[in-house]
A = this chain, B = another copy of it.
Amino acid sequence: MKAEIVAVGTELLLGDIVNGNAAWLGRELADVGVDVDMTVAVGDNIGRIAAAVGAACERADVVLVTGGLGPTQDDLTREALAELVGVPLIRDPELEAALLRRYEAAGRTDFPANNLRMAERPEGATALPNPAGTAPGLRIEFGPRGAVVYAMPGVPREMHEIFDRWVRPELTQRAGPGTTLLSRVLRTVGIWESEVARALADLDRELEASRNPTIAYLASEGQTRVRITAKAVDAATAREQIAAVERRARAALGDVVYGVDDDRLEGVVHRLLLDASATIATAESLTGGLLGAALSATPGSSSTYRGGAVLYATETKSDVVGVAPALLAERGPIDPDVAVAMADGARLTFGATYGIATTGVAGPAEQDGKPVGTVYVALVGPDGAAAGTVQAFRFSGDRDGIRRATVLTALDIVRRRIGGLPPR
């Protein structure tokens, strides 16, 4: 079963809002085993909406339309569907009564006449009651393939409710047995997308013939995700197929895989610390608090993150966590030994098992003769500064990118240390 999505709204084309509805529907449709071949966004224009839905009906079995069902003059999906199918718009007395009841229940007497537009439907269309709002959805069949068009309001919560109550059950029934599609995502850190692809090249080639399971690479924010998708007669078989591919992918990728699906690197670090009954403190220079924000992002992180210091002005490195002033004066703040002293100082000041520190040049200008992107990350554990480790990096990108890369790297250094993995 093939689906297409048509999102309606000039605000989407102008970029005033992001098309989150299409992404949500994409996930839901994948879950019930329906392939989405194309997503289209069009403006509030009867002709263009009708053309987009009509074209989708020629290619797909199911067309999901979102938006354009509200009460205002620029809500034109009802008109467009009527024009496409070649039927009149009629006012549905049941819908009208339901609208009025809803208004009265809310204690409102100023029923705007415009709102009666939401009681209209193309002749032959079925209304899909909206449990979360006023505008009902619509269901109508059209085109040579007998495509089913489901139109839903663009307000995300209303769309979700109508999809869950009316659309998903019908799609699941139509898809029948034999079309379960399942995905699993392996999350990696500290490895480029091209290196991930090279590590999985053999596996990729083998899967090329059957195209089931498939693997895909998604890179963003310094992390590469590997998505394994299997199509099978039932969920158990799909899971087995995914597990076989996952085993081989993990063997090829090794310890750069830090988690699966919705795991976050900071969440994995939190769990590792929790399992080790350990805590951590931060001393940040160029990251300015971003590392602390990451370590405190996971619910419950107060049991593993003690706190930390943002040591932005150079002398605060001495004043607040006790970096030796002579060392600072001799080397300046961007220095590996200063990083170790910062980490150890944070560990002691905040009473944590581990201290982690970042110092470097986020840019845009070089500092102390050190080029933009120079970064040191130090980690000190219970054995103190003498046993501490420090790694040097040279990141590229703008100020924001260098700060983010530093946070990701620092989290990965903690993950490797607490998880008993070798440094990268």
Which residue numbers of A lie inside 8 Å of B, CB to CB? 10-20, 22-28, 30, 36-44, 48, 52, 70-74, 106-107, 112, 114-115, 132, 155, 157, 183, 185, 193-195, 197-198, 201, 204, 216-220, 225, 227, 229, 279, 282, 284, 287-293, 295-297, 299, 301-302, 305-313, 315-316, 319-320, 349-351, 363-365, 394, 396-401, 403
A–B pairs, 27, beta carbons within 8 Å:
A11-B218, A12-B26, A14-B229, A15-B30, A16-B185, A17-B23, A19-B23, A22-B41, A37-B42, A38-B40, A39-B40, A71-B197, A72-B197, A73-B197, A74-B217, A106-B394, A106-B396, A157-B397, A284-B292, A289-B310, A290-B290, A292-B310, A292-B312, A305-B312, A306-B312, A306-B316, A309-B320
- Cβ contacts under 8 Å, A319 to chain B: 349-351
Q: Check B30–A23 contact: CB distance below 8 A.
A: no
A41 to chain B, nearest CB (A): 4
A11 to B185, CA, bound (A): 12
- Cβ contacts under 8 Å, A290 to chain B: 289-290, 293
Q: Check B26–A13 contact: CB distance below 8 A.
A: yes
Q: Check B306–A313 contact: CB distance below 8 A.
A: yes
- Cβ contacts under 8 Å, A296 to chain B: 288-289, 310, 312
Closest B residue by C-beta to A309: B309
Closest B residue by C-beta to A7: B39
Give the copy number. 2
Q: Check B198–A112 contact: CB distance below 8 A.
A: yes
A185 to chain B, nearest CB (A): 8
A57 to chain B, nearest CB (A): 16
Closest B residue by C-beta to A43: B37
Residue from B18, B39, B313, B349 in contact with A302 in the complex, judged by beta carbons closer than 8 Å: B313
Known contacts A13-B38, A40-B41, A315-B351; 16 additional CB pairs below 8 A are A15-B26, A16-B27, A16-B185, A19-B22, A37-B42, A40-B40, A71-B194, A112-B195, A282-B289, A287-B293, A293-B293, A307-B309, A307-B320, A308-B310, A310-B310, A316-B351
The answer to whether residues A293 and B302 also contact, given A193-B71, A216-B10 and a CB cut-off of 8 A, is no
Q: Check B307–A313 contact: CB distance below 8 A.
A: yes
Closest B residue by C-beta to A73: B204
A278 to chain B, nearest CB (A): 14
A15 to chain B, nearest CB (A): 3
A86 to B292, CA, bound (A): 53
- Cβ contacts under 8 Å, A28 to chain B: 15
Most chain B CB within 10 A, of A114, A204, A217, A288, is at: A288
Closest B residue by C-beta to A117: B194
A36 to chain B, nearest CB (A): 4
- Cβ contacts under 8 Å, A73 to chain B: 197, 204
Q: Check B38–A15 contact: CB distance below 8 A.
A: no
A310 to B195, CA, bound (A): 37
- Cβ contacts under 8 Å, A220 to chain B: 17, 155
A195 to B106, CA, bound (A): 15
Residue from B197, B288, B297 in contact with A297 in the complex, judged by beta carbons closer than 8 Å: B288
